[in-house]
Structure 1
Amino acid sequence: MLSTGALRAHLLAARLAGVVATSREVSLRSYRLFAARDPRVLMGLDPEWSWRVRDLVALMADKCGVSADPAHVSGLDVIDPERTLRGLDAFGERIGVAVDRRAPVLIGTGHPHRLLGFYAALADALSAAGCAVLTPAHGRRVDITTRFGLRTYNLDYVRGVALVREAGAPSTGRETGAHTHSPLPVRTALAAAAEAGGPLPELVIGDHGWVCGAGQLGFEAIGLADTNDPALFVGEAEGSVSVVVPLDDAVRSDYYRPLTRYVLNRACL
């Protein structure tokens, strides 16, 4: 188990926090699209409030530690490691509550190439602690509109973690799936669980559309998000998302292992 100081140093060294790879230009583009309510960046969220770009810059400065100066329009974004640590503390504490309740959970990712290992370790620990890790709609077709047109995917689970694969891709239990921001996979999973008579998750863990889509439907959701993913932080600000951890969500997968250990320790697992 890393100490808080050692984890802070790891966050900075791995560029999970501090100066991250996400550019200010990319983040600002996401904020403009969110303000215009582009579904690609809403990720299934239907915001209650009116969000202008300057509002989003202020929110992301508060939640992540990015520059609050609207005139700062280029360069690399910055995430405050103290905010990441606080987010990880809250994330682990909420998982601990689920363990105490032996609550059913649903875990899914739109970033399987980077984050599958992080979530799979959580799924293993939650299952061992007596929580049902749900796998509804396994193999179900999901049609998602992308910038390349309509793509057909299948919902799959690897070590209890939901992801989508292109239709026809082999399900090996090891290979990772497609990157997506869409809320359609979580909606498909939740609908299938309801159709089967339950159980329904008391907690949804993930990123992108898995968190926003579940939160919008009234399920408690916690997750990870980068500086160009304002939807999760808006959801947290409006109360539809419980916890968001600000970090770079696209570094090497092994860099997330210390975070897994930290979160599980925080959850007393």
Structure 2
Amino acid sequence: MISHLLATRLAGDVATTREENLRHYARFARRDPELLLGLDPFGGWTDAEVLALMARRCGVSADPFHRHGQDRIDPERTADALERLAEVLGRTAAAGGGVLLGTGHPGPLQPAYAAFGRALRAAGCTLRTPARGERFLMHASEGVRRCGLDYREHVGVLVVYEGPASNNRGEGSRSPGEPVHTHSPQPVRIALAALAESGETAPDLVLGDHGWVCGAGRLGLRAAGFADSNDPAVFVAEEEGQVDVTVPLDDGLRSDCYRLPTAYVLQLAGLSQ
């Protein structure tokens, strides 16, 4: 696993630069909403404290004077977090829990979540699919975007699409637009609100990334998933006990790079099919 992580650059010398990491850590410390990802941190979290945390949990350089060039993710920390993710999935499967899957990385990470979903469903878990066709305005630094929620794969991985999504509310059917890369917590909030409005119980686990895990953890739900070295909010959420497991890796590579880590987690969880 370590060799694979290094060869694909999921960990080791990753593509995310030191400059981008430090810029994001500083923005998080200033409570920039785009870097909070829906989290409301309990602690004060100065720049130095965020850097120290990311060095400990992710493996980036702890040297505050290292300001430019290469940064890294420690593959040993990634492998350890994959094992802890397997424990979470194994416990969820054993309990036959309800699971909500969602991603802000519909290209790279969606196949991994779909594989987790298929295995959990085969083990007796219920996969929640709320808010299909829900339309909303997503707020970001570049302005307001008209978006919709829909599902990729039959297993039900919730994804944000540009423009209206397919509609199941009696207004006809439309094809969704292009899937959107987003860090917003709005999608998970909408999905959880739809579950509550329909009288369904909250999921036992939310599996995802970015605003999916931070938004769910902020609401007191069990959450786990992946995060890059420039996403400090997810690691802060884990440190504060608002997220169960955060796996540090480059979250923007080709989807095939994640096949082996996904199979590794499923094997450790006893969910290989």
Structure-1-length-normalised TM-score? 0.95
> What's 2:97 paired with?
103
> What's 1:206 paired with?
208
> Which runs of no fewer than 5 residues in structure 2 stay unpaired?
167-173
Q: How does 1:2-41 map to 2 (within 5 A)?
A: 7-41=1-35
> Which runs of no fewer than 5 residues in structure 1 stay unpaired?
1-6
> What's 2:171 paired with?
none
Cα deviation 1:98-128 (Å, max 9, x = unaligned): 0000000001000111111111111111111
Q: How does 1:58-73 map to 2 (within 5 A)?
A: 58-73=52-67
Count how many residue pairs are aligned between Structure 1 and Structure 2.
Answer: 262
Does residue 1:121 correspond to 2:115, yes or no? yes
> What's 2:157 paired with?
161
Cα deviation 1:170-218 (Å, max 9, x = unaligned): 7769x96100000000000001001111132000000000000000000
How far did 1:256 drift?
Answer: 0.3
> What's 1:3 paired with?
none
How far did 1:168 drift?
Answer: 3.9
* Aligned with 1:243 (options 242, 245, 250): 245
Cα deviation 1:220-263 (Å, max 9, x = unaligned): 00010000000000001111011000000011110000011001
How far did 1:85 drift?
Answer: 0.4
Task: Tell me the percent identity.
Answer: 55
Distance in structure 2 (CA, Å) of the matches to 1:16 and 1:31: 20
After the TM superposition, which of the residue ranges 118-127 and 11-20 deviates more from structure 2? 118-127
Distance in structure 2 (CA, Å) of the matches to 1:51 and 1:59: 10
After the TM superposition, which of the residue ranges 64-73 and 159-168 deviates more from structure 2? 159-168
Distance in structure 2 (CA, Å) of the matches to 1:8 and 1:176: 34
SS at match of 2:151: strand
Distance in structure 1 (CA, Å) of the matches to 2:136 and 2:188: 10
CA RMSD after TM alignment: 1.4
Maintained 8 Å contact 1:116/1:176: no
